Structure 1
Amino acid sequence: MKSVVACIAGCLSAVSLSAMALDLHGLRADEVAIWAAPVEGGAELASLRADAAVNPASTMKLITSWVALNRLKPGYRWTTRLVSAAAVENGVLKGDLVWVGAGDPRFGMADLQTLLHSLRLRGIRQIEGRLLLDKSAFSSIGTADNFGGDEGKSFTVEPDTHLTGLKVAWLRFFNDGNGVRVALDPPLAGVRLQASLGNGGDTASTCPDVRQWVHIRQQGSQIEVSGKLPAACDGSQAYVNVLDQNDFAAQSFAALWSELGGSGPQGMALGRAPAGARTLAQFQSEPLSVALNDINKYSNNTMARTVYLTLGREDGSSGDTPADAQHAVRRLLAEQHISDEALVLENGCGLSRRERVSARLLGQVLLNAARGPYGNELLATLPLASEDGTLKRRFAATGPRLRMKTGTLKDVKALAGYWQAADGRRLAIVAIVNSPRALAMGPALDGIVADLIRRFDRSVPDNSANTVPDAIMQP
């Protein structure tokens, strides 16, 4: 009995000493989960509440990225196709054209234009039938619940098989010899733009954000723009999210097709590619590694959810895309002997009130990734401290030897990634704050990470956590 009591006391003492050894910079021990260990092997450097299930915010993207690199491979590409079973006579497609969406997360207006240009090169100038959207790549898109107050913001745009330009249209502003004006790009037929703009003249020397001088009001498919546009804002732009996914894709298609001299199609509907349909044009995306760069450096939720769903489509074990995506993640964790006990998945991007990981689970994924064949590919996607992405204005004195994925939600602030010492040794670090005061504790979180770096690498100076207050960014 004495030995049991002694063991319990010793274990409690070890936990207390571990917590006491870490300067939490004003955070309470129950507000933060911390884990750190050398990539090249050896004992853990730090562990505090490392097995607690916590909301990771966008550091969840690291798990999705790791699974995607291992399952899809870095060179994976999405292929978007235009197919039809109808005949072509004298440049006229005598029936429906089917746009088979692949869920390409980076498919943009320029890519759609390239796809349509290929259709024109085939000699087709008129589509006599309808444009059918084949959305069979995903059985459903899953959820990101309880973000209703964020509707209309770019980071809440839902994924889609026909995601086009992240469903963002651009307002282009001009103040030149032809007067003050604004144009919608692309010119979507279903969107009405009403502008009341005056000439702001030389009231500004620069134009960092045109919304400082113009007011943009959007209600449904109607956009109203008012204000006085300075000459310095000539050529500036601002984005708007309009229409639903299907209408945005179809109207973008029609606008760009018209610009290329094409006519039709005669409306839009949902449909499947018929048996025997032949491919008339196709567009192949950039590799997965390029998409992951956008996802992790800039914390793009829409793209991350699309990659997660692609994992489900390729897994295909049940035909339920979100469920199959979760299956793909858990199966790889099991194969690599990483416990998924703390893992709760909703959409794989961290834009979630429900998703959970433990700091240890996320840390073990980082170790596995760094030691695996695609470690360099994952590392290249992470923001470099003080240089780019969501870390551009943080860790000014530490510099690019620190690469970390950030995470921010209401009540969540997180960092996970790697430090590389000058001698090549690497440290995997996870630090996650779950607290009502999380958003105010960014400097504390940075301080904890800087302390862990100095504990691992004595050559780092004490001012490593120099941080410029960050602008509000995507979670």
Structure 2
Amino acid sequence: MANRGTNLSRRWVLAALGAGAAQGALANAPLQAPRPAPRPAGLQNAAAPDAAALIAKARLSGKIGYAVADARTGEILEAKNPLLGLPPASVTKALTALYGLEALGPAYRFTTQVIATGPVSGGRLDGDLVLVGGGDPTLDTDMLADLAAQLHAAGLREVAGRFRYYAGALPSVAAIDPGQPPHVGYNPAICGLNLNFNRVHFEWRRGSGGYAVTMDARAQRYRPEVSVARMQVVNRAAPVYTYSSKGGVDEWTVARGALGKGGARWLPVRRPALYTAEVFQTLARAHGIALPRPEAADRLPGGTALARHASAPLPDILRDMLKYSTNMTAEAVGLTATRARSLPALSLDASGDAMAGWMETRLGAHKARFVDHSGLGDASRLSAAEMVRALAQVGPDGPLRPLLKTIALRDDQGRPMRAHPVEIRAKTGTLNFVSALAGYIRAPSGPDLAFAIFTADPARRASLVPAERERPEGGRAWVGRARTLQSDLIKRWLALYG
């Protein structure tokens, strides 16, 4: 079944790559257009703002590269610094989606199983019970509870052997980007057994005796408390959070003065496999099944599957990944795709290299460099020309465009124009002093366009100390100006070509 799914994917994606995209034309297209080709009856051309004036108005420090092309022929219509490699940020996820679709196929589902290594008789398992992860990035506490309910329905009540968990479907990664602040929930650990996007819910309420604190693995139906992560409120001004690892537990502290009356936030989990196993043990107990303390399994054991959970189909997962820009989903999909191609994936950097090689072979990008699959690491590099080539190779009728989020064009006051007839489907990307946007533009008349706009100030980003990285001074204003430039360039291209 797995091989058929992979072959289906390859035929499906490669057919899409060929549909509506002229590879020869794209390979030979000019990379720097001195000026846009005029359209007949050029009234719109006369009204189009000058690109240099738009860039000057944006007052962006750092570097800018962009390109726009006919999405079906690949002809470059306009470009600035098209070969300049800049951090693509979360635009990387659009390429990860294509990488995953080709390697895994659109019918692919991540699977989580509970395996018994011996027979069940009279409600008792004579052997070990093993929770086996398949790398599912979307598994949550409610889904784990459904697995426990399946065990109960199968008649299981106790386990004579051990309760074990296996996370070897993917390599163990302590954090997507080690340079991020320790407490940001978008930078969790990754492994083959993940839960709740590998985050724990921290909630606090102030009472007469101090703060009441909970750390739980909440979902819609269940919210079990956990012991694999602990929080202590301490008297200090800064930093707001500290993290350390002691005795197999994530130890957190938080500054009392930062808490106020009450609140909540998600914190990253650094031991996701143990976290998942502990939550499953609690949920099994709630379903009348007594499990021993969880132990890690180094190898995938043989046995009989007593319970099984399959994720949503891969395109649904990718659509949500691109809409909400979930880093953990991108890394799990990318790592799984690399392993499905029988390539080494011992780290995110190695798997990123494999995706860059795939992009060169399939999509004609010769200088792309990826250190991960989410774009969180700022050492990745991609040029606007390479991104536009990839988009045109796939084509506006290919598998990517329907997965991309619809981006509203904005008026001069920055308000979204919901009723505007132009459809923009694209992926945004944002890091401190990095902003990117790439995708497709479809207007009522004129050609479908493929575009990429990359802006970055690497020097300013590199100068930030760890305490500044969550909310750096000037960062929000810089990104706001970058987004205004993106909107202005798109309006220009619509006036000229749409």
1:397 paired residue number? 417
> Which residue of 55, 65, 70 maps to 1:33?
65
2:384 paired residue number? 359
| Percent of residue pairs identical | 25
CA distance 1:324–1:142, shift in 2 (3 Å)? farther
- CA deviations on 1:282-306 (whole Å, 9 max, x unpaired) are 1000111222123222221111111
Indicate whether 1:267 and 2:294 are aligned: yes
- CA deviations on 1:40-89 (whole Å, 9 max, x unpaired) are 43742321111111111111111111222233233321011111222223
Q: In 2, Cα distance between the equivalents of 1:193 and 1:358?
A: 43
User: CA offset at residue 246 of structure 1?
Assistant: 2.8
CA distance 1:243–1:37, shift in 2 (3 Å)? closer
> Which residue of 85, 97, 107 maps to 1:75?
107
> Which residue of 85, 94, 104 maps to 2:136?
104
Q: In 1, Cα distance between the equivalents of 2:324 and 2:345?
A: 31
Q: In 2, Cα distance between the equivalents of 1:326 and 1:346?
A: 7
User: CA offset at residue 402 of structure 1?
Assistant: 2.4
User: CA offset at residue 150 of structure 1?
Assistant: 1.4
- CA deviations on 1:364-389 (whole Å, 9 max, x unpaired) are 2222233454144333xx253379xx
- Give ranges in structure 1 of 5+ residues lacking alignment: 1-13, 197-214, 388-392, 462-475
Q: Which amino acid aligns with 2:198?
A: K
Q: Judge conservation of contact 2:73–2:392 (CA < 8 Å) in 1.
A: no
User: CA offset at residue 328 of structure 1?
Assistant: 5.0
Indicate whether 1:420 and 2:442 are aligned: yes
Q: In 2, Cα distance between the equivalents of 1:182 and 1:27?
A: 45
Indicate whether 1:410 and 2:410 are aligned: no
Q: Judge conservation of contact 2:175–2:187 (CA < 8 Å) in 1.
A: no
1:187 paired residue number? 225
Q: Which amino acid aligns with 1:418?
A: Y
2:4 paired residue number? none
CA distance 1:112–1:290, shift in 2 (3 Å)? same
1:306 paired residue number? 332
CA distance 1:160–1:123, shift in 2 (3 Å)? same
Q: In 2, Cα distance between the equivalents of 1:111 and 1:171?
A: 21
Q: Secondary structure at the match of 1:155?
A: coil
Q: Judge conservation of contact 2:392–2:450 (CA < 8 Å) in 1.
A: yes
Indicate whether 1:448 and 2:468 are aligned: no
User: CA offset at residue 324 of structure 1?
Assistant: 5.5
TM-score by length of 1: 0.75
Q: Which amino acid aligns with 2:451?
A: I
- 1:430-441 alignment, distance < 5 Å: 430-435=452-457, 436=459, 439=475, 440-441=477-478
Q: Secondary structure at the match of 1:403?
A: strand
Q: Judge conservation of contact 1:142–1:347 (CA < 8 Å) in 2.
A: no
Q: Judge conservation of contact 2:440–2:448 (CA < 8 Å) in 1.
A: yes
Q: Which amino acid aligns with 1:357?
A: L
More deviation in 49-58 or 402-411?
402-411
2:81 paired residue number? 49
Q: Judge conservation of contact 1:51–1:342 (CA < 8 Å) in 2.
A: no
Q: Which amino acid aligns with 1:384?
A: I
2:310 paired residue number? 284
Q: Judge conservation of contact 2:110–2:135 (CA < 8 Å) in 1.
A: yes
Q: Which amino acid aligns with 2:495?
A: R
Q: In 2, Cα distance between the equivalents of 1:164 and 1:190?
A: 13
> Which residue of 185, 194, 201 maps to 1:163?
194
User: CA offset at residue 194 of structure 1?
Assistant: 7.2
User: CA offset at residue 123 of structure 1?
Assistant: 0.7
Report the RMSD for the aligned CA atoms in angstroms.
3.8
2:266 paired residue number? 239
- Give ranges in structure 2 of 5+ residues lacking alignment: 1-31, 37-48, 217-223, 235-239, 245-249, 462-474
User: CA offset at residue 281 of structure 1?
Assistant: 1.0
> Which residue of 343, 367, 371 maps to 2:368?
343
Q: Judge conservation of contact 2:173–2:190 (CA < 8 Å) in 1.
A: yes
CA distance 1:29–1:249, shift in 2 (3 Å)? closer
Q: Secondary structure at the match of 2:114?
A: strand
2:277 paired residue number? 250
TM-score by length of 2: 0.72
Q: Judge conservation of contact 2:433–2:460 (CA < 8 Å) in 1.
A: yes
Q: Which amino acid aligns with 2:432?
A: K
> Which residue of 138, 145, 157 maps to 1:125?
157
User: CA offset at residue 187 of structure 1?
Assistant: 1.4
CA distance 1:71–1:85, shift in 2 (3 Å)? same
Count of aligned pairs: 413
- CA deviations on 1:299-324 (whole Å, 9 max, x unpaired) are 21111111110111211144757546
- CA deviations on 1:135-173 (whole Å, 9 max, x unpaired) are 22124549744x434112111102211111122233467
Q: Judge conservation of contact 1:77–1:286 (CA < 8 Å) in 2.
A: yes
Q: Which amino acid aligns with 1:92?
A: R
More deviation in 422-431 or 181-190?
181-190
Q: In 2, Cα distance between the equivalents of 1:443 and 1:191?
A: 36
Q: Secondary structure at the match of 1:45?
A: strand
1:210 paired residue number? none
Q: In 2, Cα distance between the equivalents of 1:424 and 1:16?
A: 21
User: CA offset at residue 21 of structure 1?
Assistant: 4.3
Q: In 2, Cα distance between the equivalents of 1:191 and 1:139?
A: 22
Q: In 2, Cα distance between the equivalents of 1:34 and 1:49?
A: 7
Indicate whether 1:429 and 2:451 are aligned: yes
